[in-house]
Amino acid sequence: GIQVEQSPPDLILQEGANSTLRCNFSDSVNNLQWFHQNPWGQLINLFYIPSGTKQNGRLSATTVATERYSLLYISSSQTTDSGVYFCAVEARDYKLSFGAGTTVTVRA
């Protein structure tokens, strides 16, 4: 199956800082999603982004499908951004494969 690697595994930020999370994948994919898992365990959809760039408030994402990577940008981080960020890619059989996640801690 497709291998999905996320980096860094852990990230500690001071409130107000910017950061970039990366997702690399090993094969061509139909689609890619970014999720935020909050401290209560809920998975929240951030972006559905097979290619190109999207922005939603302080978050933005870019996927370069031909080079098999995606980036998630967090600007002006807030404590509510803490949690685990997952990248998931959809193979040609429509199954989602997840990376191991990036744990983000934002300190006040």
Partner 1 sequence: NAGVTQTPKFQVLKTGQSMTLQCAQDMNHEYMSWYRQDPGMGLRLIHYSVGAGITDQGEVPNGYNVSRSTTEDFPLRLLSAAPSQTSVYFCASSLGLQGDTEAFFGQGTRLTVV
β pairing state of 69-74 and 59-64: antiparallel
- In contact, 15 and 106? CB cutoff 8 Å: yes
User: Would you say 57 or 94 has its CB closer to partner 1?
Assistant: 94
CA distance 15 to 94: 37
List phi, psi (to 5°) of 65.
-65, -35
Of 11-19, 28-36, 52-60, 69-77, the segment contacting partner 1 by CB under 8 A is 28-36
Q: How far is the CB of 15 from partner 1 (least distance, A)?
A: 26
Nearer to partner 1, 15 or 48 (CB): 48
Q: Does 55 bind partner 1 (CB under 8 A)?
A: no
Nearest-approach distance from CB 104 to partner 1, in angstroms:
15
Tell me the one-letter amino acid at 49: I
Which C-beta is closer to partner 1: that of 18 or that of 30?
30
Residue 31 identity: N
